[in-house]
Amino acid sequence: MVLQILKSFFAGLENVPGQKPPDAKKLKPFLDLVLSLRKDLPLSIPLLRSQAIIALGKNHETTLLERRIERRYRRLCRISSELRLLDFKKATPGMSPEDYVFSQIDFSRYRKMEEKEFDSLFPEGLTDFDEAFFRKNFKLGKDEVQSVIEKSYRKEEGVYKIQRENPLILSIMRTLDTSLESLDLFTAEEIHGELENLLDFVGDRKTRKKLPGMEQLYPLLVLSLNGKIITHEDGMTTTLFISPKGELSGTFRPGNKPWTLVLIPTVQ
């Protein structure tokens, strides 16, 4: 039954020459189906569940997609708060602006971190960046960076304390805390992978890559987030929107001041 619903849904999305591309309103039957599947099933589709919950406005626990947006917001808050404290009049004569900014960074905050704050950066925060990002910044792969963090911190009574302080671990934590070089909020490859998981689960392993219309799902999921509002843990909100260029962007408000980030470039 589920397989037939999926086949019918994707057939309705098939790109037929001369016809207008489908709009995000056509997603509702698919999103309803995703939410109808019990969470305890052996089925890994966290992004599709996130999309369905946000797009349909259901009450929920924080989803994978919202956690990704929350981390971007936290990084903006960190950057914004530090920028507000800068006073270039206090810089040593002859000191470059870059050197002054670096001199004001408080690396001591990474020596001891509350569990909630530490967990907001690691380990899930590593997934916000690709392998090239870690190689460029630390000359280490993602797995190696994870190992450095695991060996450097010990949890004691809800607090993570650094055990082996050195410039590398401080740089890693600082970068996870402030870098805006994140991957796209979600990718077509991720959605396709979850679709394969879904079709495998309902018994369509042989034909899962051949269903017409499947390639339309990703751009429709991006469009479905237009106008959605994400509420952060501190009560501030971020509005998602499709820009005139076709990008999925978010207007965040760190320190209650607007800051717009492109979350997904133009979807072709």
Structural domain boundaries in the chain? 2-65+187-225, 66-178
* The predicted structure's pLDDT at residue 205: 59
* The predicted structure's pLDDT at residue 101: 74
* The predicted structure's pLDDT at residue 20: 63
* The predicted structure's pLDDT at residue 190: 95
* The predicted structure's pLDDT at residue 266: 80
Amino acid at 35: L
* The predicted structure's pLDDT at residue 118: 94
Instruction: Kindly report, residue by residue over 85-105, the tens digit of the pLDDT.
Output: 776 667 777 777 777 777 778
b/e burial code for range 50-81 (CB count within 10 A of at least 16 → b): bbbbbbeeeeeeebbbbbbbbbbbbbbbebbe
* The predicted structure's pLDDT at residue 16: 53
Within 8 A by CB and 6+ apart from 47, the residues are 64, 65, 186, 190, 191, 194
* The predicted structure's pLDDT at residue 207: 54
* The predicted structure's pLDDT at residue 218: 93
Which stretches of the chain drop beneath a pLDDT of 50? Answer: none
The three-class DSSP label of residue 157 is coil
What Cα–Cα distance (Å) separates residue 144 from each residue in 60, 131, 148?
Answer: 35, 11, 6
Q: Exposed (0-12), middle (13-18) or buried (19+): which is 264, by Cβ within 10 Å?
A: buried
